[in-house]
Amino acid sequence: MRSLHVAQVCADRGIAPGSTKGAAQHLRGLAAGLANLGHDVITYAAREPEGPYPVPVVGLGDLADPGADAIDVVYERYSLGHRSGLDHARARGVPFVLEVNAPLVDEAAIHRPDTVDHAAPDVEAELLAEADLVVTVSGELTRWVGRRRTGPTVTVRNGFEPRWFREPRADHAAIRYPLVFLGHPKPWHGADRIVSLLLDLARLGHHPDALVIGGGSGGDVVRRAARRARVADRLHITGPLPPDRASAMLAEAGIGLAPYPRQEPFYFCPLKVIDYLAAGLPVVATDQGDIPQIVGRRLPGRPRRPRRARGCRRRAARFAPATTHDGTSRT
């Protein structure tokens, strides 16, 4: 296989290469994977790195540098309203690959309407139509793309870094945190359900500790809700951690939570679910999108994916020991 000079482009100012965000981990993983295959990768990013990164990172403006003429392929993570990756690929006569992780115009119109420029829908349509290849992370996204282009589209679900899961799983008696939520809490990830889950489990006689591996403003929201509900002593929030440390902490956990609220369409390929499975955890998650195929409906030791919050409560109660906040446990 011939080694290629790959320009990985990320124009999203919310993604700093090497940071703790899931999107930054995905960016890092792709860069590392391509480099490990023997390709020469340079990441052109809108943000400077905020942590270790496996390949050189330069500014977006460096794409226009004459030295970039050696590029064999431009691989861009789709960012709202950004098209310079396509322009540079066409100017150099090289293939343009577009990675789509979300229907960004639709998503931003719901969650961040002030960020949607009037030209963004036209840019999105042109990128999808003109890309030589589109790569998505879920079946729902592939279907969404297929309604907007006739060219080739492939689905490549998220993966995990094997080196981060070398610690053996704790046996049942050594589990510190019966429940775990991996990632910076966001409402559309179901983070607001964690406190209500603890309350519901208490009514059933279970008092497990819950660990949130992440933080940020969403972590503060969950912490305040736990204080109001008087379960703050059973909720532990780590704050932002390097991704290797975050994944390694799953070895101390019992059940991985992914209580996403109902969303149509559900286009995620949840990194947290992938990491839970890599760590050998049973998963309690809502039944939507590709999650059933990722988890496996009849995989031994895995609960089914409930559709509603009370289903999460029942499944969590079934698979978790009733662990009190002082560290003792009973089944």
State pLDDT tens for residues 8-30. 999 999 999 999 888 999 999 99
Q: What does the pLDDT average to over 93-105?
A: 95
| Confidence at residue 222, expressed as pLDDT on a 0 to 100 scale | 94
DSSP secondary structure, 161-196, as one string:
-GGGG-SPPPPGGG-SEEEEEESS--GGGTTTHHHH
Q: Are residues 213 and 169 in the same domain?
A: yes
| Confidence at residue 182, expressed as pLDDT on a 0 to 100 scale | 95
Contacts of 227 (CB under 8 A, 6+ apart): none
Residue 260 to residues 200, 250, 297: CA-CA distances in angstroms? Answer: 17, 19, 18
Q: Are residues 311 and 270 in the same domain?
A: yes
CATH number of the domain that 135 lies in?
A: 3.40.50.2000
pLDDT in tens, 40-95: 999 999 999 999 999 999 999 998 887 767 899 999 999 999 999 999 999 999 99
Question: Minimal CA–CA distance to 190: which of 222, 220, 230, 159?
Answer: 222
Beta-bridge partners for 45: 10, 59
Domain C-terminal end among 99, 120, 155:
155
Q: What does the pLDDT average to over 222-247?
A: 93
pLDDT surpasses 80 at 183:
yes
| Confidence at residue 21, expressed as pLDDT on a 0 to 100 scale | 87
Task: Give the chain's domain count.
Answer: 2
Q: Report pTM.
A: 0.84
Strands 177-182 and 153-155: unpaired
Q: Are residues 216 and 310 in the same domain?
A: yes
Residue 31 tokens read as: 């860069």
Strands 329-330 and 322-323: antiparallel
Residue numbers of the domain that contains 222: 162-330
Q: Are residues 145 and 167 in the same domain?
A: no
pLDDT surpasses 60 at 128:
yes
CA gap 173, 218 in Å, rounded: 31
| Confidence at residue 188, expressed as pLDDT on a 0 to 100 scale | 82
> CA 244, 276, 268: angle at the middle one, nearest 5?
95
Q: Are residues 209 and 102 in the same domain?
A: no
Domain C-terminal end among 137, 155, 173:
155
Q: Are residues 268 and 303 in the same domain?
A: yes
Question: Minimal CA–CA distance to 295: which of 282, 308, 306, 307?
Answer: 282
Conformational region of residue 245, where left means phi above 0, alpha means psi within -120 to 50, and beta covers everything else? alpha
Q: Are residues 136 and 171 in the same domain?
A: no
Q: Are residues 66 and 178 in the same domain?
A: no
Local confidence band at 6 (pLDDT 50, 70, 90 cut-offs): very high
Rounded to the nearest angstrom, the gap between the alpha carbon of residue 224 and the centroid of all alpha carbons in its chain is 24
Within 10 angstroms of residue 306's Cβ, the number of other Cβ atoms is 18
Q: Are residues 168 and 144 in the same domain?
A: no
Q: Are residues 132 and 187 in the same domain?
A: no
How large a percentage of the chain has pLDDT more than 70?
Answer: 86
Domain C-terminal end among 120, 139, 155:
155
Contacts of 20 (CB under 8 A, 6+ apart): 51, 184, 214, 240, 241, 242, 243, 246
Q: Are residues 151 and 170 in the same domain?
A: no
CA gap 198, 209 in Å, rounded: 8
Q: Are residues 140 and 274 in the same domain?
A: no
